[in-house]
């Protein structure tokens, strides 16, 4: 055997030397990829259909100048839907998961902002949002924080089972 063939064989993955974590991570990644993708679609599609509600919700956060409210209200649901679809399909998983992580950090930051300013609203993540008497910011932090952590796993290990893109398939 030539030295090039030996080097190529030595660098090829050997399923017999893989640990249990290496065998299960593609399956765990699949569950995360499908769960996050479905969650983003579940959150984004109603917002995309009812953009007027999304505009109202963005205004309630009192974070943006009036000129940015409409662009953000249109962009957020579109981004959620696109990222959701790409995660479900398993296309550009690492990049798309990184975008989802950045989105989650922005959502957490927005919730922190209204919380510290004493603004009482429903975050509008999976609902129509609006002004409320009792907030659930702790629940929102926990949910978005956990979603961030599991999605970060896809940034670290993007190769999953049944991914559309060969580069993302385990």
What confidence tens digit (pLDDT) does each residue in 108-166 have?
999 999 999 999 999 988 887 899 999 999 999 999 999 999 999 999 999 999 999 88
Task: State yes or no: pLDDT of 16 exceeds 70.
Answer: no
2: confidence class by pLDDT, cuts 50, 70, 90: low
> Mind listing the pLDDT tens digit for each residue in 19-50?
777 889 999 999 999 999 999 999 999 999 99
Q: How many CA atoms lie within 13 A of 158 on its CB side?
A: 19
pLDDT of residue 127: 83
pLDDT of residue 7: 52
| Under 8 Å between Cβ of 127 and 50 | no
| Under 8 Å between Cβ of 32 and 150 | yes
pLDDT of residue 95: 97
Distance between CA atoms of 33 and 55, rounded to whole angstroms? 29
Between 23 and 93, the more confident residue is 93
- The mean-pLDDT minimum among 12-21, 83-92, 104-113 falls in 12-21
Task: State yes or no: pLDDT of 5 exceeds 60.
Answer: no
Task: State yes or no: pLDDT of 12 exceeds 90.
Answer: no
Q: What CA–CA distances, in Å, run from 148 to 46, 75, 97?
A: 22, 20, 9
């Amino acid at each position: 055997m030539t030295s090039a063939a030996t080097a190529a064989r030595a660098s090829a993955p050997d399923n017999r030397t893989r640990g249990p974590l290496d065998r299960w991570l593609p399956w765990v990644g699949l569950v995360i990829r499908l769960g996050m993708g479905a969650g983003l679609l579940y959150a984004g599609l109603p917002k995309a259909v009812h953009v007027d509600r999304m505009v109202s919700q963005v205004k309630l956060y009192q974070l943006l100048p009036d000129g940015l409210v409409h662009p953000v209200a249109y962009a957020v649901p579109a981004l959620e839907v696109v990222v959701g679809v790409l995660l479900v399909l398993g296309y550009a998983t690492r990049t798309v998961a990184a975008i989802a992580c950045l989105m989650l950090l922005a959502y957490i930051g927005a919730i922190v902002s209204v919380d510290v300013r004493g603004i009482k609203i429903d975050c509008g993540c999976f609902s129509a949002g609006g002004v409320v008497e009792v907030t659930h910011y702790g629940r929102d932090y926990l949910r978005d924080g956990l979603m961030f952590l599991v999605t970060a796993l896809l940034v670290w290990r993007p190769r999953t089972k049944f991914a559309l893109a060969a580069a993302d398939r385990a």
